[in-house]
């Protein structure tokens, strides 16, 4: 069933055409990824579809009774609210129902004790109970907790004012609020910005199981491959549709363009051949050949011309150069630690971080949000002091820093002035040429930095970094606001850079392409993995499997057996320990693992049965409270009300236990 369609949508700003003749349809349950260069009109299209921006012509259809949710790049919150107040406001209608039900219960009790007719009140109470159940009234609090935890909001955040949250935290909160609303049609504009890898993986799984329809803008190629079944590309004011994820789209787009060019070139060659034949026929001057020439001219006039494929959008031209080499030893650190605050309020970010970085390495740092990745970068550059440990910076090391917040840009400057303030030795012509390589052309060089989009600011910061001549590039989430074309150019430039790269990133496509090593930062220290993201995930899973195996072995054989395993080897040898067991020992362990899985299944079934029983008991109690012999006796009514509240509290606890079991 078609849930959304657009026909010949057009949008312009003055003489600048943004969208032209855009037509498509979205079926119920579709997962649509919208891609395109920065400035192509993706967000404009999303704003039009959500009804937040007018369009010049065309038609949009959204099926009746469809609820719509929209995650914007910048969220609007009441900054005076706490995080929990903002989230619970989503369920204000449920809280209102609870209050009305309590008031009705009290009113029914009072009026029935006086012998008054309460039939209308009972009918209203019954309606409220049904609506409360439909609105997930018995478990919405558990759902709030589950979503917030998945978005890395622990209880410490619940009473925090919105105004105290960072930009990334506000984005995660906006996404959490939207997921709790569960609209039929979900619009997401760059939902992966500011999410760590763990949260990204959770979001991917959540969206895969989401019952509604999803339309999202993203430059995260890995995320698109995991979540969408169709790609909409906005290019040269038009929209092209492709079946499949990003990788399929990229291949199909290449094939489509090659086919269009082949058809165009073939037709142009044929037209040129026919025109040459016509010229020769006319040249001979005979009546017979003149008629043939006229016949061929008429056929050419009736020929349906193949349009020349439009030129591809311009790409950044970036090349990182180092003015001189650093020493072979770039950075060496032992036991670095950092925290903030004092006493009981102190928050420890990390400790025991050891590093040994050599010239030419490309190190990617990953880890959960809040673990201190950006802080570690600033310590390595000497911009912040560590609380403990030792740091040695190598010979001739010159750092160049890319700040994800772009705080190195002056919003009051024009683009041109921003560059001239930093690099005065370049002539105006040279600077205009450099800006053109980063897609700042014509009048765009006189735009104020404060009015630029996230992608434009990112390109400007990269240009400043390119001109710095640094031999160690320190990059904090450099791909966050870049479109896919710019990401690919940037990645190729990093691969060609002869110096050293230290980068924090959650872009898994980038992490598969760039690093020679991945460093996972945790509170207890940092773990080194040679290779790219897929290898890192593979080894991480092997290590986790090894730890689980040792724990299971410790449980089945006692601590002595586990100690023998640890003494027998370490690292990867431990992971292969199972291969040295006898067949009978392996069967025994497999049986114990199967028994553990059965126990988990039984516990899940028990909790689900208990949830169903509690929900039935609550419904029965509510029904009993509506009976005349109960609500006419205010003491008995109060007793039933207490029982109902106890059941509801127990239901919440049981739901929490069930959710914990799912996350194991």
Lowest-pLDDT range, 297-301, 306-310, 497-501?
Answer: 306-310
Between residues 287 and 207, the one the model is more confident about: 207
In terms of average pLDDT, the best of 134-138, 147-151, 188-192, 511-515 is 511-515
For 643-655, the pLDDT digits (tens) are 888 888 887 788 7
Q: What is the average per-residue pLDDT within 311-330? A: 82
pLDDT band at 35 (very low <50, low <70, confident <90, very high): very high
Q: What is the average per-residue pLDDT within 65-85? A: 81
- State what percent of residues in the chain have pLDDT above 90: 25
pLDDT at 663: 60
For 209-259, the pLDDT digits (tens) are 888 999 999 888 999 999 999 999 998 889 999 999 998 998 898 888 888
For 421-449, the pLDDT digits (tens) are 888 888 888 888 888 888 888 888 888 88
pLDDT at 573: 40
pLDDT at 173: 87
Q: CA nearest 489: which of 37, 139, 167, 79?
A: 37
CA distance linking residue 189 with residue 71, whole number of Å: 6
Residue 238, C-beta contacts closer than 8 angstroms, at least 6 positions apart: 20, 21, 22
For 589-627, the pLDDT digits (tens) are 666 677 777 777 778 888 878 888 887 888 788 777 777
Using the CB atoms, write b or e for 431-468: b if 16+ within 10 Å: bbebbebbbbeeebbeeebeebebbbbbbbbbbbbbbb
* Residue 522: strand, helix, or coil: strand
**Sheet-wide strand order for 185-189:** 68-71, 185-189, 213-217, 31-35, 230-235, 238-243
pLDDT at 552: 60
User: Whole-number mean pLDDT of the chain?
Assistant: 83
Class of domain 1-77+182-244: alpha beta
Lowest-pLDDT range, 47-61, 525-539, 597-611, 619-633?
Answer: 619-633
pLDDT at 331 over 90: yes
Cα angle for residues 441, 447, 451 (degrees, 5° grid):
125
pLDDT at 199: 81
3-class SS string, 286-322:
CHHHHHHHHHHHHHHHHCCCCCCCCCCCCCCCCCCCC
Handedness of CA 379, 345, 407, 421 (dihedral sign): negative
pLDDT band at 662 (very low <50, low <70, confident <90, very high): low
CA distance linking residue 608 with residue 655, whole number of Å: 9
Helix and strand counts by DSSP (H, E) for the chain = 22, 18
CA distance linking residue 155 with residue 160, whole number of Å: 10
Between residues 71 and 60, the one the model is more confident about: 60
DSSP symbol at 163? G
pLDDT band at 554 (very low <50, low <70, confident <90, very high): low
3-state helix, strand, coil in the chain (%, to 5): 55, 20, 30
In terms of average pLDDT, the best of 32-36, 157-161, 531-535 is 32-36
- Which fold does the domain 329-339+347-541 belong to in CATH? Rossmann fold (3.40.50)
């Amino acid at each position: 069933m078609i849930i959304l369609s657009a026909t010949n949508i057009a949008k312009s700003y003055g003489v600048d055409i943004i969208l032209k003749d855009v037509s498509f349809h979205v079926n119920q349950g579709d997962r649509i990824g919208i891609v395109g260069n920065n400035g192509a009109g993706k967000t404009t299209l999303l704003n039009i579809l959500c009804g937040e921006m007018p369009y010049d012509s065309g038609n949009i259809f959204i099926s009746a009774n469809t609820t719509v949710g929209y995650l914007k790049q910048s969220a609007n919150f009441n900054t005076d609210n706490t995080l929990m107040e903002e989230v619970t406001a989503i369920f204000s209608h449920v809280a209102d129902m609870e209050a009305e039900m309590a008031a009705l219960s009290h009113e029914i009790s009072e009026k029935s004790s006086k012998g008054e007719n309460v039939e209308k009140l009972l009918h209203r109470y019954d309606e409220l109970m049904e609506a409360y159940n439909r609105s997930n009234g018995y478990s919405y609090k558990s759902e709030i907790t589950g979503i917030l935890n998945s978005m890395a909001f622990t209880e410490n955040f619940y009473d925090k004012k919105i105004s105290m949250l960072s930009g990334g935290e506000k984005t995660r909160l906006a996404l959490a609020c939207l997921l709790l609303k569960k609209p039929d049609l979900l619009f997401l504009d760059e939902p992966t910005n500011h999410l760590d890898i763990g949260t990204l993986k959770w979001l991917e799984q959540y969206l895969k199981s989401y019952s509604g329809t999803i339309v999202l803008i993203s430059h995260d190629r890995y995320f698109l491959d995991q979540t969408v079944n169709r790609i909409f590309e906005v290019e040269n004011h038009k929209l092209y549709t492709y079946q499949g994820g990003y990788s399929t789209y990229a291949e199909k787009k290449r094939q489509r363009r090659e086919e269009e060019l082949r058809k165009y070139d073939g037709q142009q060659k044929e037209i040129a051949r026919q025109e040459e034949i016509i010229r020769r026929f006319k040249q001979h001057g005979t009546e017979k050949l003149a008629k043939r020439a006229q016949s061929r001219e008429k056929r050419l006039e009736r020929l349906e011309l193949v349009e020349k494929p439009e030129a591809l959008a311009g790409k950044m031209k970036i090349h990182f150069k180092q003015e001189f080499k650093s020493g072979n030893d770039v950075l060496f650190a032992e036991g670095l630690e950092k925290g903030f605050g004092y006493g009981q309020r102190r928050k420890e970010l990390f400790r025991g971080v050891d590093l040994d970085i050599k010239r030419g390495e490309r190190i990617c740092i990953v880890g959960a949000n809040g673990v201190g990745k950006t802080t570690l970068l600033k310590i390595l550059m000497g911009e912040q002091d560590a609380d403990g440990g030792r740091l040695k910076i190598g010979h001739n090391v010159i750092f160049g820093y890319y700040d994800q917040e772009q705080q190195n840009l002056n919003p009051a400057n024009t683009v041109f002035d921003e560059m001239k303030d930093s690099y005065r030795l370049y002539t105006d012509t040279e600077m205009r040429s450099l800006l053109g390589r980063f897609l700042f052309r014509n009048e765009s060089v006189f735009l104020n930095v404060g009015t630029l989009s996230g992608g434009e600011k990112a390109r400007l910061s990269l240009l400043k970094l390119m001109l710095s001549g640094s031999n160690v590039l320190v990059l904090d989430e450099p791909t966050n606001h870049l479109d896919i074309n710019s990401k690919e150019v940037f990645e190729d430039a990093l691969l060609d850079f002869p110096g050293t790269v230290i980068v924090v990133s959650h872009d898994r496509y980038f992490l598969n392409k760039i690093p020679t090593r991945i460093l996972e930062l945790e509170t207890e220290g940092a773990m080194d993995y040679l290779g790219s993201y897929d290898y890192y995930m593979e080894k991480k899973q092997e290590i986790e499997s090894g730890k689980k195996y040792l724990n299971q072995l410790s449980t089945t054989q006692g601590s002595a057996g586990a100690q023998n395993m640890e003494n027998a080897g370490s690292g990867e040898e431990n992971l292969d320990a199972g291969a040295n067991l006898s067949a009978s020992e392996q069967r025994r362990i497999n049986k114990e693992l199967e028994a553990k899985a059965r126990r988990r299944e039984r516990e899940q079934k028990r909790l689900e049965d208990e949830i169903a029983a509690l929900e039935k008991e609550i419904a029965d109690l509510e029904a009993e409270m509506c009976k005349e012999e109960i609500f006419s006796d205010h003491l008995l009514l109060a007793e039933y009300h207490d029982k109902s509240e106890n059941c509801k509290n127990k239901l919440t606890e049981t739901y929490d236990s069930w959710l914990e079991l799912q996350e194991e």
